[in-house]
């Protein structure tokens, strides 16, 4: 089955700096890659997603890049703010198959220091 | 906020007991998935329901079962609770396709 590795497990940056979180996946048939933000005690919140027919997607300060050949994708947050502090999860699934099971990475705890 | 709700918020059970967790999806979302999130880990897929039929299952034993109802609500049932079942249980609904929106979860503690 699919396996998703996520790095780093913790990341501390100064406010205004950029943050990058990287994930690799094992199943070359995976074609949908969402990113979720989970604040302490709250639900995972979908912040951005990318499909395999696109190499990069941007939404304001957040961008995701995908390298299908290398089977890795990354989340980029620019101009970080203290409210960006949370745990971020990457996930992968095979869209269009019999079901849409999401396989998650173990998460990255991002701390933005004011 | 998504339109996905879950109940109860917290639950404490004893080993060997049975538990039912509930989820209400957004109207029109015909697919619901359930995930188990252990402390410090990413969510793990339990199973998915599409139009009231099970549509895929992860590596969980048969004592984990579910139901989906025509009114976009669903249930996760766990029999013979074990200590390792202590976790946050999340449901996620989808309008069809891959995008999934999570509920706030139910925190289950098994003593």
Interval A42-94: pLDDT, tens: 999 999 999 988 899 999 999 999 999 999 999 999 999 999 999 999 999 98
Beta strand spans in A8-106 (E): 10-14, 19-25, 32-38, 45-51, 56-59, 62-67, 72-77, 86-92, 103-104
How would DSSP label each residue in B69-111?
-TTSEEEEEE-S--GGG-EEEEEEEESSSS--EE---EEEEE-
**pLDDT at residue B13 in the model:** 98
CA distance B94 to B33: 8
Q: What is the dihedral of CA A36, A37, A40, A43, to 10 degrees?
A: -50
* Stretch B50-62: mean pLDDT: 92
CA distance A44 to A95: 20
> Which among B100, B103, B105 has the least Cβ separation from residue A102?
B100
CA distance A44 to A39: 8
Q: Could you tell me if A72 and A90 are in contact, meaning their C-beta atoms sit under 8 angstroms apart?
A: no
Q: Does the beta carbon of B43 lie under 8 angstroms from any beta carbon of chain A?
A: yes
Task: Report the length, in residues, of chain A.
Answer: 114
Q: Could you tell me if A110 and A65 are in contact, meaning their C-beta atoms sit under 8 angstroms apart?
A: no
**pLDDT at residue A54 in the model:** 86
Burial class (CB in 10 A: 0-12, 13-18, 19+), A75: buried
Mutate to test the interface with A, among B6, B23, B98 (most CBs of A within 10 A): B98
- The residues facing B106 across adjacent strands are B89
Q: What percent of chain B has pLDDT over 90?
A: 77
> Which among B31, B98, B102 has the least Cβ separation from residue A44?
B102
Q: Could you tell me if A104 and A46 are in contact, meaning their C-beta atoms sit under 8 angstroms apart?
A: no
* Residue contact B99–A89, C-beta within 8 A: no
Does residue A96 register a pLDDT over 90? no
In sequence order, what are the residues at sequence separation of 6 or more whose Cβ sits closer than 8 angstroms to the Cβ of residue B46? B33, B34, B35, B36, B57, B58, B60, B64, B66, B76
**pLDDT at residue A95 in the model:** 73
Closest CA to B64 of B87, B95, B97: B87
A→B interface, C-beta within 8 Å: 4, 6, 32, 34, 36, 42-46, 49, 89, 91, 93, 95, 98-107
Q: Does the beta carbon of B60 lie under 8 angstroms from any beta carbon of chain A?
A: no
Please provide the average confidence, as pLDDT, over all residues in chain B: 93
Please provide the average confidence, as pLDDT, over all residues in chain A: 94
Q: Give B26 to chain A, closest Cα distance, Å.
A: 15
Closest CA to A37 of A26, A52, A47, A49: A47
* Residue contact A43–B105, C-beta within 8 A: yes
Task: Report the length, in residues, of chain B.
Answer: 111
């Amino acid at each position: 089955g699919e396996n998703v590795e996520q790095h780093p497990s913790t990341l501390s940056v100064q406010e205004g700096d950029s943050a990058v979180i990287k994930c690799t996946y094992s199943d070359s048939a995976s074609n949908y890659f969402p990113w979720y933000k989970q604040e302490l005690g709250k639900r995972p919140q979908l912040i951005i997603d990318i499909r395999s027919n696109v190499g990069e997607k941007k939404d304001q300060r957040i961008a995701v890049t995908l390298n299908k050949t290398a089977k890795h994708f990354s989340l980029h947050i620019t101009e970080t703010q203290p409210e960006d502090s949370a745990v971020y999860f990457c996930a992968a699934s095979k869209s269009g198959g019999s079901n849409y099971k999401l396989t998650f990475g173990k998460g990255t705890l991002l701390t933005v220091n004011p | 906020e998504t339109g996905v709700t879950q109940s109860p918020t917290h639950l404490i059970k004893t080993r060997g007991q049975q538990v039912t967790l509930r989820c209400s999806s957004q109207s029109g979302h015909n697919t619901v998935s359930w995930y188990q999130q252990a402390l410090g880990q990413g969510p793990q897929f339990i199973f998915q329901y599409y139009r009231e039929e099970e549509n895929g299952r992860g590596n969980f034993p048969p004592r984990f079962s579910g139901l989906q109802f025509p009114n976009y609500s669903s249930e996760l049932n766990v029999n013979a609770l074990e200590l390792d079942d202590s976790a946050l249980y999340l449901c996620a609904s989808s309008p069809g396709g891959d995008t999934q929106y999570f509920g706030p979860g139910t925190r289950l503690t098994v003593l």
